[in-house]
Amino acid sequence: MTVSRVVLASHNAHKLEELRRILTPLVTGLELLGYDGPEPVESGVTFEENALLKARAAARHTGLPAIADDSGIAVQVLGGCPGIFSARWGGPARSDTANVELLLWQLSDLADEYRAAAFVCAAALALPGGEELVVRGEWPGSVLREPAGAGGFGYDPVFRPEGETRSAAELSPAEKDAASHRRRAFTALAPEILRRLS
């Protein structure tokens, strides 16, 4: 079996493990590698632009095909914010707690029907020769009034997926892997990885 070595343009070990769980069954012979190179400034104004910036930088640095994602929460009544600013919504410290507290405060006076949101993920593939592709996955739901659950990270404790009674932080890793925005985006990207690397 041919092994395709692909680098994940992220220093996040949790994300590497998550994407190994998602992609390994979908891309035969995939060896997904961690990345220790420089991270580019995320100067894009969309999830797609930032995902491509990261994938391009990793492909250029390693000489290997690279994948990357950019993700966050988009709240309908906030015009899609925090969006690309999700990781630093609560200030420069990039604290999950501060991000969640600010979002809950901003929505505190709103009735449940106005708390619609989606987790969004743009997944990008960049090849050393310059070919690139980006796809988008969304996980619709709503913002809870207070955190629930000890699992997950980021906004998971205050995000209730559509059709669920639990927050994303109350789902098991397997349940989250099966339904998440990242799963949706990388499931769409997987056949393109196969086609370009086979």
DSSP 8-class letter at 109: T
Could you list the beta-strand ranges (E) of 66-191. 66-75, 116-126, 132-143, 159-161
Active site residues: 70
Backbone φ and ψ of 172, nearest 5° = -70, 160
Extract the tokens encoding 79: 């015009």
Evaluated on CA atoms 49, 71, 94, 45, the torsion sign reads positive
Q: Is the distance from CB of 197 to CB of 190 less than 8 angstroms?
A: no
What is the rounded distance in angstroms from the CA atom of residue 102 to the CA atom of residue 100?
A: 6
Q: How far apart are CA 165 and CA 167, in angstroms?
A: 7
Q: Is 134 helix (H, G, I), strand (E, B) or coil?
A: strand
Backbone angles phi, psi at 186, to 5 degrees: -75, -25
Listed in sequence order, the residues at least 6 apart from 81 whose beta carbon sits closer than 8 Å to its beta carbon are: 74, 75, 89
